[in-house]
């Protein structure tokens, strides 16, 4: 993807988000509910920590020999009657999908929920080529119909409530009567989608896992709409990031325990779809697998950053995150939100377009604690901050940080600075507190008082007692 | 035991009372406290903000100051966590093998105060008296990086006169996060407001923790609101004795 300078920084977008009372309630309630569900089903598994370690080490192992495993997968898929394509970036992947559609003179495609295709802006590319994509995941449909943007990797419309969805469906699906009961909303979507499932000849999906020894692709979901797309059309194209591989069929026992409990807080996903190439007379008769790099191999080359590729997109880190649960997902201005978004976006789309994201965290570590594949997100955040600093030009912050090092590397200078602060704070201090100031002190004191520098430092006290 | 105190730069500058309390407490327990005067800052702000390379002189300074210490104790979980997790990581590419060896040798002797008392010394009752209604906020670094667990609660439960109230949603971050508090002021304050809501809901007079930095954040919000609730570092509670209260109210 082409990188552009960051147009919307996280602090700017978050300022608007935290002031939105309805959003705060929607996101706060939704994240609290899912957190509790996750905690309950994770507590049921006595060897959860061992499972996490198994998931992490399987991912690490696969990524270490990715070249070998990719070739193995390609061979297995091809042998089973599928066709494998390699895409260096999003544009190449989109072109491959469009060419397949054009070869079949297809004007419409149905889509399984996929963040990878969002990452490469496939829908936009399809539309530009005169092909209409229909999202079939209920939440993705809500986003598509409303010309909206996803705010959660698993629950894209988490920022919308029932009343808003009802209005949208009435307007866009041409309904004159509709209640806001979830069952009625689902029924309305079903009627609309059913026709698409039965008439559209080509489907596009992402992939949760690509199993190398058998050449099997796996998609997990809750609604069954994905299953419809994966079985009814004649042509199926799956776009998969190269990091989604697992070595063997047996390894799925680990991931199919980790993923549902971490993501929806369920013991098992309602729908686990697996397919291997083409089965004559059953399901799609043409299958294409598009293996997407889009800077993933650059991420892999980075010692600290590469663990990001372990991610199985469960969204547990979003739900637990104290930042995400207050700002919601739009503040991240990315198809990947929350802690994983804060580390993945700058690595996939370029630091220059997302330099504020590594700072969108208090480094509280809650994400690392819940991550089913043990990605040390705070460690990667700090690592990316170092890169953001290295890539930025001259800043006042750099100047101040350099001065601070010189001060801290000299106890006498530190004492002088303490003395200067005692004088400099006078205009802003009263009764032991500073209530205003400039620069970072101003940012702090907008909503919080700051203790004034007392007349005696610890060092001063220590000297008095000797 | 000979205990070398790492006071940390912000306790030295802004919260000397926390350092004084730590000294009094350790001496009351019969230990000899030393204060290497060439110590300054562990470099946490720099390494967490993306200036890890720049902070390497501070690692060198820390090692020089404390190399010969029997144990190093600090009333700050975030600084101890920085020393334990970030130091070796920052040095990976430096090729300074001697410094790496020194750090690896020193790190196991660096303790956060409550962990030192409960896990290293096996003490829970330090003979403190503090007749106040208190709630305890587990700061993120103490909870998740150092995994202090029950240590501070064990210490608080043994304090005479102290009424310990459980804090709801205690594990939720207060929103400080170092430079996060100013770079992402709005989000930080949104997090703080929820933390203050739970603190105020306990009707405690005092909120305590293992980090003056997080307490400065929570306390700064509570003071701005004139809430009548203030923050006090655990060391100050543990240092208090009956005499302190009879001879005049503590700060
Ligand atoms: S980073 Fe970990 S917790 Fe977050 S979505 Fe990925 S796998 Fe889940």
**CA–CA separation, A121 and A143 (whole Å):** 14
Contact between A238 and A206 under an 8 Å Cβ cutoff? The reply is yes
CATH architecture label of B2-120:
Up-down Bundle (1.20)
In chain B, helix, strand, coil percent, each to 5?
50, 10, 35
Of B89, B179, B187, the CB nearest to A323: B187
**Residue matched to tokens 């190093």:** B72
Chain A neighbors of B145, CB-CB under 8 A: 365
Chain A residues lying within 8 Å of B176, measured CB to CB: 362
Joined together, the tokens standing for residue B120 give 């290293």
Say whether residue B88 is in contact with chain A using an 8 A CB cutoff. no
DSSP annotation of B92 reads: T
Residue with CA closest to ligand 1 atom 3: A371
By C-alpha distance, the chain A residue nearest B56 is A405
Q: Which of residues 143-162 of B touch A (CB under 8 A)?
A: 144-145
The pTM of this model reads 0.96
- Partners of residue A34 on adjacent β-strands: none
Contact between B192 and B174 (Cβ < 8 Å): yes
Q: What span, in angstroms and rounded, lies between the C-alpha atoms of A188 and A173?
A: 8
Instruction: Tell me which chain A residues have a C-beta less than 8 angstroms from the C-beta of B182.
Output: 440, 443-444
Residue B133 to residue B205: CA distance in whole angstroms: 6
Residue pLDDT tens, chain A, 466 long: 344 578 889 999 999 999 999 999 999 999 999 999 999 999 999 999 999 999 999 999 999 999 999 999 999 999 999 999 999 999 999 999 999 999 999 999 999 999 999 999 999 999 999 999 999 999 999 999 999 999 999 999 999 988 999 999 999 999 999 999 999 999 999 999 999 999 999 999 999 999 999 999 999 999 999 999 999 999 999 999 999 999 999 999 999 999 999 999 999 999 999 999 999 999 999 999 999 999 999 999 999 999 999 999 999 999 999 999 999 999 999 999 999 999 999 999 999 999 999 999 999 999 999 999 999 999 999 999 999 999 998 999 999 999 999 999 999 999 999 999 999 999 999 889 999 998 999 999 999 999 999 999 999 999 998 7
Place of tokens 């994983």: A340
Helix axes A66-79, A48-64, angle to 10 degrees: 90
Which residues 209-238 of B are in CB contact (within 8 Å) with A?
216-217, 219-221, 223-224
What is the widest separation between alpha-carbon atoms in chain B? 57
Which atom in ligand 1 lies closest to the alpha carbon of residue A340? 1
Q: What are residue A11's DSSP bridge partners?
A: none
Cβ-contact A240, A193 below 8 angstroms: no
- pLDDT tens, position by position, A124-152: 999 999 999 999 999 999 999 999 999 99
* Residues A84/A95, Cβ–Cβ less than 8 Å: no
Which is the closest atom of ligand 1 to the Cα of A312? 7
Give every CB contact of residue A174 below 8 A, 6+ residues apart in sequence: none
The per-residue pLDDT for B247 is 61
Q: Three-class SS of residue B68? A: coil
For the purposes of burial, counting CB atoms within 10 Å of the CB of A22, is it exposed (0-12), middle (13-18) or buried (19 or more)? Answer: exposed
Q: How far does residue A317's CA lie from ligand 1's centre (Å)?
A: 6
Which residue of chain A has the CA closest to B180?
A362
The CATH class given to the B133-250 domain equals alpha beta
Q: Which of A152, A337, A345, A372 to mutate to test the pocket of ligand 1 (most atoms within 8 A of CB)?
A: A372
For domain A45-294, the question of CATH label 3.20.20.70 is answered with no
CATH 1.20.1050 domain locations along chain B: 2-120
Q: How far apart are CA B68 and CA B72, in angstroms?
A: 10
Read off φ and ψ for residue A275, nearest 5 degrees: -145, 150
Q: Collect all residues of chain B within an 8 Å Cβ-Cβ radius of residue A14.
A: 184, 186-187
pLDDT tens for each residue of A7-51: 889 999 999 999 999 999 999 999 999 999 999 999 999 999 999
Nearest-10 Cα torsion for A362, A364, A369, A372: 0
Do A386 and B52 count as a contact with CB atoms less than 8 A apart? Answer: yes
Query: For residue B8, what are the CA distances in angstroms to A133, A194, B18, B38?
Result: 58, 65, 10, 12
The domains of chain A are located at 45-294, 408-465
Q: What are phi and psi of A198, to 5 degrees?
A: -85, -15
Q: Among A385, A72, A34, A39, which Cα is nearest to A242's? A: A72
* Cα dihedral sign, A81-A83-A84-A90: negative
Single out the residue of A206, A214, A205 nearest to residue A235, CA to CA.
A205
Collapse the DSSP code of A249 into the 3-class scheme (helix H, G, I; strand E, B; otherwise coil) and give the result.
Answer: helix
CA of B210 to the centre of ligand 1 (A): 29
Laid out side by side, the sheet with A209-211 consists of A245-246, A209-211, A216-221, A271-276
Q: Residue written as tokens 């543990």?
A: B238
The arrangement of strands across the sheet holding B133-136 comes to B163-165, B133-136, B206-209, B230-233
The set of protein residues with a Cβ atom below 6 angstroms from ligand 1 is A 262, 311-317, 340, 370-373, 375
Write out the residue limits of the CATH 3.40.50 domain(s) in chain B.
133-250
* Residues A239/A204, Cβ–Cβ less than 8 Å: yes
Here the ipTM equals 0.96
d(CA A228, CA A211): 21
Please enumerate in sequence order all residues whose Cβ is within 8 A of that of A242, keeping only pairs 6 or more positions apart, or say none: A66, A70, A291, A292, A293, A296, A297
């Amino acid at each position: 993807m082409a990188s552009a300078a960051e147009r919307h920084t996280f602090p700017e977008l978050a300022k608007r988000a935290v002031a939105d009372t309805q959003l705060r309630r929607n996101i706060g309630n939704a994240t609290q509910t899912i957190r509790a569900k996750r905690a309950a089903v994770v507590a049921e598994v006595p060897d959860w920590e061992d499972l996490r370690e198994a998931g992490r080490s399987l991912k690490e192992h696969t990524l270490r020999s990715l070249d070998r495993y990719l070739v193995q997968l390609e061979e297995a898929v091809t042998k089973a009657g599928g066709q494998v394509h390699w895409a260096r970036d999003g544009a190449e992947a989109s072109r491959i999908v469009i060419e397949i559609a054009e070869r079949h003179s297809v004007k419409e495609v149905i889509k399984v929920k996929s963040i990878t295709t969002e990452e490469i802006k496939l829908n936009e590319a399809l539309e530009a080529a005169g092909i209409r994509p229909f999202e079939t995941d209920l939440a993705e449909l809500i986003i598509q119909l409303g010309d909206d943007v996803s705010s959660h990797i698993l629950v894209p419309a988490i920022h919308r409530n029932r009343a808003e969805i009802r209005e949208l469906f009435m307007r866009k699906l041409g309904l004159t009567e509709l209640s806001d009961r979830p069952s009625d909303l689902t029924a309305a979507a079903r009627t609309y989608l059913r026709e698409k499932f039965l008439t559209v000849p080509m489907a596009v999906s992402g992939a949760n896992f690509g199993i190398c020894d058998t050449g099997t692709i796996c998609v997990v979901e809750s609604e069954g709409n994905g299953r419809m797309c994966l079985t009814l059309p004649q042509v199926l194209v799956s776009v998969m990031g190269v990091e989604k591989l697992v070595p063997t069929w047996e390894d799925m026992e680990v991931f199919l325990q980790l993923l549902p409990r971490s993501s929806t807080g369920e013991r098992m996903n309602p729908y686990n779809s697996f397919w291997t190439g083409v089965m004559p007379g059953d399901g799609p008769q043409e299958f294409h697998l598009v293996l997407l790099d889009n800077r993933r191999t650059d991420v892999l080359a980075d010692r600290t950053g590469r663990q990001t590729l372990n991610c199985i997109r469960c969204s547990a880190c979003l739900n637990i995150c104290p930042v995400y649960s207050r700002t919601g997902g739009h503040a991240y201005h990315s198809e990947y939100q929350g802690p994983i978004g804060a580390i993945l976006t700058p690595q996939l789309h370029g630091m220059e377009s997302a330099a504020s994201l590594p700072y969108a965290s208090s480094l509280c570590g809650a994400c690392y604690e819940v991550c089913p594949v043990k990605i040390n997100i705070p460690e990667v955040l700090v690592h990316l901050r170092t890169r953001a600093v290295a890539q930025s030009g001259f800043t006042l912050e750099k100047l101040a940080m350099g001065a601070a090092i010189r001060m801290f590397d000299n106890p006498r200078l530190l004492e002088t600075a303490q003395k200067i602060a005692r004088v400099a704070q006078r205009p802003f201090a009263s009764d032991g507190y500073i209530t205003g100031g400039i620069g970072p002190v101003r940012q702090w004191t907008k909503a919080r008082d700051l203790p004034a520098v007392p007349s005696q430092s610890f060092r001063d006290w220590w000297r008095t007692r000797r | 035991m000979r205990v070398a105190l790492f006071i940390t730069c912000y306790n030295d500058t802004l919260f000397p009372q926390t350092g004084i309390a730590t000294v009094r407490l350790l001496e009351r327990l019969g230990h000899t406290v030393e204060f290497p005067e060439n110590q300054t800052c562990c470099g946490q702000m720099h390494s967490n903000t993306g200036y890890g390379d720049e902070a390497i002189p501070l690692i060198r300074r820390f090692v020089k100051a404390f190399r010969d210490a029997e144990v190093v104790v600090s009333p700050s979980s975030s600084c101890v966590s920085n020393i334990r997790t970030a130091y070796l990581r920052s040095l990976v590419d430096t090729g300074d093998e001697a410094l790496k060896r020194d750090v690896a040798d020193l790190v196991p002797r660096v303790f956060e105060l409550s962990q030192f008392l409960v896990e290293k010394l096996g003490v829970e009752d330090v003979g403190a008296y503090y007749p106040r209604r208190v709630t305890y906020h587990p700061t993120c670094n103490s909870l998740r990086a150092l995994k202090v667990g029950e240590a501070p609660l064990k210490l608080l439960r043994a304090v005479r006169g102290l009424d310990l109230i459980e804090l709801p949603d205690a594990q939720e971050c207060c929103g400080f996060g170092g430079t996060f508090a100013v770079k992402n002021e709005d989000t930080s304050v949104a997090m703080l407001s929820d933390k203050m809501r739970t603190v105020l809901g306990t009707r405690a007079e005092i909120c305590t923790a293992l980090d003056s930095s997080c307490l400065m954040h929570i306390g700064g919000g509570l003071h701005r609101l004139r809430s009548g609730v203030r923050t006090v570092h655990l060391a100050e509670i543990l240092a208090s004795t009956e005499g302190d209260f009879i001879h005049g109210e503590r700060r």
